[in-house]
Amino acid sequence: MRSCLIVVALASAASTVVAATPSKAVATLHPTPGSGVEGKVSFVKVEAGVKLSVEATGLTPGKHGFHIHEFGDCSAPDATSAGGHFNPGGDPHAGPLDPARHAGDMGNLEADAAGVAKLEYVDAKMSFEGANSILGRGVIVHANPDDLKTQPTGNAGGRLACGVIGVVKAE
């Protein structure tokens, strides 16, 4: 009888852990000094990975490298405290559709003439749990385009905005 009670207690503890696995996250992008670039990135868990919805403003028209970086630390004025690209698999830098790439390689944001960039896609490598968990990591918008091939950064230049990926309250 006692062992039966213990099994019930363990089972309910385990289901509590499962229910607590996040399914939504957000990063608010704050400008580095002198930049004026700000925005928001929403992340939602879907069957095929994580669906991203991005809106950023204050950009120069054209492409801007856009990545998840290893650390959720935007404290340095130039945001270098966020480290390099999030790369749990030890892969080369590439584009978001390439099979071998950093988990944080999101390619480019493309701003219109008004300096507004919008992007929506499902990323197959990102996760909210395990080695590829993006929670607590950094999001960076760069000054220059990511060429999707130069190692290890895509030659995307300085960091215009930085945000930290945090868990959003489940609905």
Q: Which residues contact 96 (CB under 8 A, 6 or more apart)?
A: 105, 106, 107, 121, 123
Is residue 64 a contact point for Cu ion (CB under 5 A)?
no
Tell me which stretch binds Cu ion (CB under 5 A): 22-30, 48-56, 59-67, 121-129: 59-67
> 39: which strand partners?
29, 56
Catalytic, 67? Answer yes
Site for Zn ion (CB under 5 A): which residue of 63, 64, 69, 93? Answer: 93
Is residue 64 part of the annotated active site? The answer reads no
Judged by beta carbon distances under 5 to 8 A according to partner kind, the member of Cu ion, Zn ion, none in contact with residue 63 is: none
Active-site residue identified among 64, 93, 101, 137 = 93
Pick 50 or 140: Cβ nearer Cu ion: 140
Has 85 been annotated as catalytic? Answer: yes
Is 105 an interacting residue with respect to Zn ion (CB under 5 A)? yes
Quick one: which H or E segment has residue 11? helix 2-19
Shortest distance in whole angstroms from residue 147 CB to Cu ion:
12
- Indicate the SS3 state at residue 2: helix
Q: Per rule CB under 5 A, is residue 67 in the interface with Cu ion?
A: yes
DSSP string, 72-91: ----STTSGGG-SB--TT-P
- Kindly state the tokens that stand for 2: 């006692």
Does 69 participate in catalysis according to the annotation?
A: yes
DSSP 31-54: EPTTT--EEEEEEEEETTEEEEEE
C-beta separation of 47 from 35 below 8 A:
no
User: Which residues inside 112-151 make contact with Cu ion, applying CB under 5 A?
Assistant: 140
- Which residues are the active-site residues? 67, 69, 85, 93, 102, 105, 142, 159
Which residues of this chain interact with Cu ion, rule CB under 5 A?
A: 67, 140
